[in-house]
A and B are shown apart, each in its own frame.
Chain A
Amino acid sequence: MEYAFVRGIEQFLYREARLLDEGKFQEWLDLFTDDVRYWMPMKTTRDATSSAETTDKELAFFDDRKPTLSLRVKRLTTGMAFAEDPPSRTRRIISNIEIDALSDKEVEVYSNFLVYRTRLESVEDTYVGHRKDVLKEVDGSWKIAQRKMIIEQNVLASNNLSVFF
């Protein structure tokens, strides 16, 4: 894999993270294809022989397609999304990026994330997890066609998930 190709995908993910940290949610939303699935199953503690993640017939922390993901973004502009109004202060660290090329125009990308969220006076949450994205090249730019995210916690240690991953 060409270094420039790898570098381009890394830059795409870093830029995406910066859009969220800067509160540019509409620009962030435009990075997703119209048929995206934005899915965050949950970690469970089950038998060693069975899946430690909830399946797609079970509950998840997020399970959005573009229409509901768009509504989440629109909600932030209603003036009544109090969980993010006043807004949280966030900083995202994206790392451990690995890329499997499916074709010239489609790649699977693994990454780890650390999302630090603090809000109001001293509320603090740290969400640590990993993602598996499918990126597609559309009109010369990468778009996120699938995103599967996992937060490693079993009992989520924060009072909501009002930020994006």
Chain B
Amino acid sequence: MLTNEEIRKLVDVETGDVARKIFVDPDVYQQELARIFGRCWLYVGHESQFKNNGDFITTYMGEDPVIVIRDGAGKINVLLNSCRHRGMKVCRKDEGNARSFVCSYHGWSFSNSGELLAVPREEVAYCNGIDKGDLGLLRPAQVDTLHGMIFANWDPDAPSLNEYLGDMKFYLDLMADRMEGGIELIGGVHKWIIDGNWKLAADNFVGDMYHVPVTHGSAVGIGIRKPWGDDGYQISPGNGHGFGGEFGGLAEGEGVATPYTPFIKKVRENLEKDKGDYVSKIVPIGHGTVFPNFSFLDTMRFRTFRVWHPKGPNKMEIQAWCVVDKALPDELKAAVRQQYIFTFGPSGVFEQEDGENWSQCTAAAAGWRGRQDNFNYSMGLGREREASEVLGHDLPGKIGGMWSEINQRAMYRRWRDLMAAESWSDLA
């Protein structure tokens, strides 16, 4: 455990210096599990995955395995996937439908809303002395949703989801609430392991357009997009969240037209009439991260959600989905799905390169000399402006140019403040 004073020295937002130690150190990582993942609102699923009572998926909150399930009354529950007796996972499937879960170790059974229903040989083994009412599956203190996105939080003292998202909610509306009927996930989830620290991925999505022309330069080489200009933005709405892209929509341009492009342009026109002319500049809203580890891409080709699950200081599991408007015609859903798989996911011609970057950054920062240095996040320091000055319409947040690390600085500021706080009230 590092002292709060030690933690504060690791991130200097005035200079953009962030200690490499935070990407490789086991003690920092253990503290993150408690003070970041034990406190923050974490994305656990989308309501479109739970069409019927009993539908469930399994995922993680930090390193804690959880079941997300719609119970017999239609309510979404998030349950720690660990039997209260000896801790065995009570559900060992990725997804399915269940009225109850029977632990395969000793047979304790739990309802799909988490109550302990029965324990084998209760009468003779426990002499009927066990308090089943107190031994339901553990659950987060708070669960809430936004546009069907389900978030959960272990900390009863954490602010509400609404307050936690703050001004980011205004922009998430532009990403997830564009059409009647809302969004849904296409079935199936890409899951893969990268030997890198989870923050490198969250930081890449929160504000790193700078890597794109280099890391993903091969996309220009094969003609699926035009070369990158300099005309874009990074917006930091506060609380460590952020997003950014190219003005006119990430991946706009003739080199990338897909059958989806005319559709998204039409959606944008309608939205613009409703909200104002800034919409044509920043919708689709590009790359972004909701602190700590929920990221998205919203582009002219597709949308994706992804979670960077921590698996140790130098390992993460990525879970990634393709997201569409429910009202999108079936043939366009199919086209978006294919375009997504071609460009993103482990085989994606854009995403193949990211994994090696993050694993080698982590490995090369782990040496004795290397870990004493800092990563440099100084890009765009001192050039932040109010988003409303640049885009009008009282838009919330601060804005930097396309090549600015404003969002990473805000993310690590939030990380530092949470890591160095004893509780949410201490933070305020």
Interface positions of A (Cβ within 8 A of B): 40, 42, 44-47, 50, 54-55, 57-64, 68, 71-72, 74-75, 77-84, 154-162
Contacts and interface: CB of A to CB of B under 8 A. Distances in A.
A57 B93 contact: no
Nearest to B355: A159
Nearest to B213: A80
B411 interface: no
A59 B194 contact: no
Interface in B317-331: 317, 321-322
B380 interface: no
B191 A155 contact: yes
B358 to A, nearest CB: 8
Interface in B210-230: 214-215, 217-218, 221-222, 224
A57 B334 contact: yes
Interface string B306-322: 00000000000100011
Nearest to B224: A71
A159 B356 contact: yes
A71 B351 contact: no
B346 A156 contact: yes
Given A46-B94, A156-B346, A82 B341 contact: no
A51 to B, nearest CB: 11
B170 interface: no
B63 interface: no
B342 interface: yes
B190 interface: yes
A75 B195 CA distance: 25
Contacts of B263: none
22 contacts: A42-B188, A44-B95, A46-B96, A58-B187, A59-B186, A71-B224, A71-B342, A75-B218, A75-B349, A81-B353, A82-B215, A82-B356, A83-B352, A83-B355, A83-B356, A156-B191, A159-B194, A159-B356, A160-B346, A160-B353, A161-B347, A161-B352
A71 B349 contact: yes
A154 B347 contact: no
A59 B97 contact: no
Contact of B193 (A50, A63, A78, A157): A157
A131 to B, nearest CB: 16
A137 B190 CA distance: 35
Given A75-B218, A82-B356, A156-B192, 17 more contacts: A40-B347, A44-B94, A47-B93, A54-B188, A57-B186, A57-B337, A58-B186, A59-B322, A61-B345, A75-B221, A79-B221, A155-B191, A158-B192, A158-B193, A159-B192, A159-B194, A160-B192
Question: What are the 3 closest A-B residue pairs judged by CB atoms, nearest first?
Answer: A159-B355, A78-B221, A59-B188
A54 B352 contact: no
Contacts of A62: 341, 347
B187 A55 contact: yes
Interface string B335-378: 00110111001110101110110110000000000000000000
Interface of B: 92-97, 186-196, 214-215, 217-218, 221-222, 224, 317, 321-322, 334, 337-338, 340-342, 345-347, 349, 351-353, 355-356, 358-359
Contacts of B358: 159
A155 B191 CA distance: 5
A53 B124 CA distance: 43
A68 B192 CA distance: 22
B345 A155 contact: no
Contacts of A162: 347, 352
A161 to B, nearest CB: 4
B192 A155 contact: yes
A59 B321 contact: yes
A80 B47 CA distance: 39
Contacts of A159: 192-196, 346, 355-356, 358-359
A54 B191 CA distance: 13
B92 A58 contact: no
A146 B156 CA distance: 54
Given A57-B187, A61-B347, A63-B341, A45 B94 contact: yes
Nearest to B192: A156
Contacts of A47: 93, 96-97
A57 B195 CA distance: 30
B257 to A, nearest CB: 14
A51 B190 CA distance: 17
A79 B348 CA distance: 17
Contact of A46 (B93, B346, B351): B93
A160 B352 contact: yes
Contact of B345 (A46, A55, A59, A71): A59
